[in-house]
Chain A
Amino acid sequence: MATKAYQRVYTQLQAITKATVSLNASGVGNDELAVVNGKLSQVVKAKGDMITLQVFSGTEGIPTDAEVTFLGNPPTLKVSEALSGRFFDAYGKPIDGGPEVDGEERQIGGPSVNPYKRRQPSELIPTGIAGIDLNNTLVSGQKIPFFADPDQPYNKVMADVALRADVDKIILGGMGLTNDDYLFFRHEFEAAGALDKIVSFVNTTENPPVERLLIPDMALAAAEYFAVDKNEKVLVLLTDMTLYADALSIVSNRMDQIPSKDSMPGSLYSDLAKIYEKAVQLPSGGSITIIAVTTLNDGDITHAIPDNTGYITEGQLFLRADADSGKVIVDPFRSLSRLKQLVQGKKTREDHSQVMNAGVRLYADAQNAKTKLENGFDLSDYDLRCLDYAKEYATRLLSIDVNIRIDEMLDTAWELFGKYFSPAETGIKQAMIDKYWRGN
């Protein structure tokens, strides 16, 4: 970012930590950007004339006589149609070798949508994955993360979902992506011939961690441009939000803030909510849907990051390896889409919610049977049927490599019910049984 003429240059730092520097300066606004020895930074605290700056790329090599200039505005992104098909870093600079994008300069992390002006999300986003479409249907304007251990193929599933979803733009916000994963996304998007509808903001593990803090706001500023100005359906992919939260805790720690649970800042909930709540269905037809990834440590969802996320997002999708079917499945117990009832039976077949509930309930019975089996007890006929059902249900419906239409998912479920159970055992409403039951 070029410095303007006649700017005052400060040359005396009072304090330096690994993420922040402090100096005496006047006339500086909160959240304003500054350049410290060529490194971009942002005002995070003012106490009298003492201004504290968070240096995004880290303070390595910054001397106490570093040159500091203030830019007079918070971080911005230039928005225009020319963003499409491009890859940027956390500051919005091209990393694909292409030219700088010209357009209207907008502040990132802007104001919230007036809740009264929102519309209720009501458009189905089909993904072909039954573990999602059948049990945890996604809706445009929704925000939902994948909760997954680092060894799960979450980036692959997310790319599949994005490319199959019927949306106008896909915006990738990559935080702490490994270079391999970054190349993977690039390759997937190119291979699908979808590059022109994709905009990417990427911070890889090679970049400094604090830079990540800019990625979601950059991605969402671009998303708001397309959704609000262009009335487009925008899907935003954020991976990995755990690394984003880690960066938050680094900064708050350097600012001597008292940590709350799991050494996360006390404002973690608000910080995450500011990002996720950008998901919106606008009255004009435009929408922003956010699918994120929150990696877990050994499946622990009580950790502050997934815990706060779960309270903000509209559900979560859980991936786990299933030993019985040998597949990675979308866990039907821990996964949830809070908005599913807005489309189930309305945009999909009438039997959808009954079939979904019965399917999961019977799968739960199978888990109980499995526990009995592990404890060395005899299994009843019902238990045995449940176990057979569970294996087929996991293979044909829960597995992430399934790619079929929703009607086919429902038909498959009825087929399994008919094969293994009596109508009464499914507990489905009689009217639905009369209409859809297959088998005896």
Chain B
Amino acid sequence: MTTTGKVTGIVSNLVTVQTDGPVSENELCHIRLDGTDLLAEVIKVNADKAQVQVFESTRGLHPGDKVEFLGKMLEASLGPGLLSSVYDGLQNDLSSMEGVFLRRGEYTDPLDHEKLWDFRPIAKPGDTVKASDWLGEVTEGWLPHKIMVPFSFNGEYTVRSVSPEGSYRIDDTIAVLNDAEGNEVKVTMVQKWPVKVAVKGYREKPRPSRIMETGVRVIDSFDPIAEGGTGFIPGPFGCGKTVLQHAIAKQGEADVIVMAACGERANEVVEIFTEFPELIDPHTGRKLMERTTIICNTSNMPVAAREASVYTAMTICEYYRAMGLRCLLLADSTSRWAQALREMSNRMEELPGADAFPVDLSAIISNFYARAGMVVLPNGKTGAVTFIGTVSPAGGNLKEPVTESTKKAARCFYALEQNRADQKRYPAVNPIDSYSKYLEYPEIVEYLDEKIEPGWVEKINKAKNFVRKGKEMAEQINILGDDGVPMSYHEAYWKSELIDFAFLQQDAFDAIDCLCPMERQKYMLNLILDICDRSFKFEDFEKCREFFKNIINLMRQMNYSEFNSDNFNRYRDEISKTIEQNGN
């Protein structure tokens, strides 16, 4: 018998329910209101009173309204057809909803149950299989989408039969398995998994050993993120967080991209599904949308579903990872999720932690980041979930609970700086404060030696040093005045400006400059370091400024030109000429 109950208290979207039977933490329930069912989740139980967060507006709800518990947690439906979909935080398909406005209690199926998929078997009768082993595959977009033994299956199974090659709907049985007791179990192409539970079923989770290219110079060269790595981008509003995230989504070297728009602006999501169907994935030449799933809970959508949205997104990534694919999860912004937790905690009248956030905020964040990673699957293949979250620190102050908690969990830190943004130095990533822990991994250093050039990491450190030194010099010049410092100060300062303007800054809205492949990054950095390594003799600091401004201008023109095109080479030759003329 299912547990039922009735509403006894309402504060905004927190509802107290008097129950008549057992309920479990995170169990879902339906609250019946004027013929519609409002979905809600148990977040706290006290004797026979359950407190539930409602994923919808509670307007018009009465004390005494009926509640039915569903005996399951919030689940994601996993199967072919997830890619290029636009879901809300609860995985309702937003594109199949009618009307301009979202209607309360309207739930739509995330997957198309009528579409036919061309299935090819992988497993054979007699094979012994476990959860997440591959039984067959279909082609989704251009990706091989493996049909797996559902993650929820425990223990070993024997394959009794696998359907032959042919067209099937996702609900058709494609394999029959026998469990240890000999019971027959049917497997279809769709399975369900509770989003708040990490998908396991891999053999091991080694340290990441490759870099995920983003085409953004300040990330790839200065502080690269590993495939299966974690990173976060904190920054005050107006510093270009979203532009940077979209650039990574467009250019990231991954098979599958899941974007979780968590409590952010609706127009930003619109931008994604207006532009992505037109844009081409630079790595495969296919439409970007074909590899992208969007989970959107915009800031005006129900707060409780915000938390669900990041978990739903992560579960979809883990699903594709189990197929041996490389996934990139972008969540914008995890601060909104934390705020949703704060709102609920506040309504439950829990004792608050710092800034009124719940005290377990740090644990929740690090648990979530821990679900990313590279894994070795049972069949020896690898898959990865790379996770980059943005953080919107209150008042732009990085000493606030969400930033601090995230800093403990994420391995890459891309600090967006108000000052750089004010000067339109985009991307406004501070090259000194930002870091990538992966540059300390010997396996990553070795990988970069091989992939880019021997000694690459040393080169990067050298470039960072030039920037650091230039910053110190700038302070000296500001204190002592242009005439009050030796010429070498000016030179050092302008060398750092050269690195900043010609390498760190990048025009995300320019068709060519927006994406800088590793080969090109290597070329440009070598060209710049070659200039930085020289020492010049300038008559006065005006000449020094003029010389470097000239070089900077030429290099920017190079950045705007096709790599190795005539124009590109012409500007490079002009740079060589300018250096010669300066006769050092």
A residues 371-412 touching B (CB-CB < 8 Å)? 371-372, 375-378, 380-382
A114 touching B60, Cβ below 8 Å: no
Task: For B478, list chain A residues within 8 Å (CB).
Answer: 371-372, 375
Contact with A along B543-571 (1 / 0, CB 8 A): 00100011011001100100000000000
Is the Cβ of B267 less than 8 Å from the Cβ of A120?
yes
Shortest Cβ distance from A201 into chain B, in angstroms?
A: 20
A258 touches B346 (CB 8 A): yes
Determine, out of A124-132, A190-198, A264-272, the stretch whose residues face the partner at the interface. Answer: A264-272
Query: Using Cβ atoms and an 8 Å threshold, which residues of chain B touch A113?
Result: 100-102, 266
The yes or no answer to A31 lying at the interface (CB within 8 A) is yes
**A273-B263 contact in complex given A113-B102, A336-B238, A380-B542, C-beta closer than 8 Å:** yes
Q: Whose C-beta in chain B lies nearest to the C-beta of A27?
A: B62
Q: Whole-angstrom distance between the alpha carbons of A31 and B557 in the complex?
A: 59
Known: A31-B59, A114-B99. A378 touches B481 (CB 8 A): yes
- Residue A115 CB within 8 A of the other chain: yes
Q: B336, A269: Cβ atoms under 8 Å? A: yes
A270 and B343: CB pair below 8 A?
yes
CB distance from B552 to the nearest CB of A (A): 7
> Is A364 interfacial (CB-CB < 8 Å)?
yes
B270 at the interface (CB under 8 A from A): yes
Cβ-neighbour of B100 out of A26, A114, A267, A311 (below 8 A): A114
B500 adjacent to chain A (CB < 8 Å): no
A contact residues around B139 at 8 Å (CB): none
Residue pair A260, B9 in contact (C-beta under 8 Å): no
User: If A121-B267, A303-B395, A382-B545 touch, does A116 touch B95 (CB 8 Å cutoff)?
Assistant: yes
For window 5-57 of A, CB contacts with B under 8 Å fall at 26-32, 44-49
Closest residue to B97 on the A side, CB-wise? Answer: A114
Name the CB-closest residue of B to A312.
B299
Pair A29/B11 contact, Cβ less than 8 Å: no
Contact across chains for A357 and B86 when beta carbons are under 8 A apart: no
Residues of A with C-beta under 8 A to B167 = none
Contact between chains at A372 and B481 (CB < 8 Å): yes
Interface: A117 (CB within 8 A): yes
Chain B residues lying within 8 Å of A380, measured Cβ to Cβ, are 482, 541-542, 545
A74 contacts B238, C-beta separation under 8 Å? no
Instruction: Verify if B131 is at the interface (C-beta below 8 Å from A).
Output: no
Among A118, A269, A277, the most chain B Cβ lie within 10 Å of the Cβ of A269
Q: B residues within 8 A CB of A282?
A: 100
Q: A259 within 8 Å of B by Cβ?
A: yes
* Minimum Cβ distance to chain B for residue A346 (Å): 11
* B residues in contact with A48, CB < 8 Å: 8-9, 63
Complex interface: chain A residues within 8 A of B553 (CB): 424, 427
List which B95-120 residues lie within 8 A (CB) of chain A: 95, 97, 99-104
- Residues on A with beta carbons closer than 8 Å to the beta carbon of B104: 111
Q: Once the chains bind, are A424 and B549 in contact (CB under 8 Å)?
A: yes
Q: Is A228 an interface residue (CB 8 A)?
A: yes
Is A315 touching B238 in the complex (CB atoms < 8 A)? yes
Asked if A115 and B298 make an inter-chain contact with CB atoms under 8 angstroms apart, the answer reads: yes
Contact of B101 with A111 in the complex, beta carbons under 8 Å: yes
Could you jot down 15 A-B contacts, CB within 8 Å? A31-B60, A48-B63, A112-B266, A117-B97, A119-B270, A266-B343, A269-B339, A277-B299, A282-B100, A302-B396, A304-B394, A310-B236, A333-B422, A353-B509, A424-B549
7 other A-B residue contacts (CB within 8 Å) besides A45-B10, A260-B342, A304-B395: A27-B62, A28-B62, A259-B356, A266-B346, A270-B343, A310-B238, A339-B267
Q: Which residues of A contact B (CB under 8 A)?
A: 26-32, 44-49, 74, 107, 110-121, 141-142, 228, 257-261, 266-267, 269-270, 273-274, 277-280, 282-283, 301-304, 307-308, 310-312, 314-316, 333-334, 336, 338-339, 341, 353, 357, 360-361, 364, 371-372, 375-378, 380-382, 424-425, 427, 429-430
Ranked nearest first, the 3 interchain pairs of A and B with the lowest CB-CB distance are A302-B395, A273-B299, A277-B300
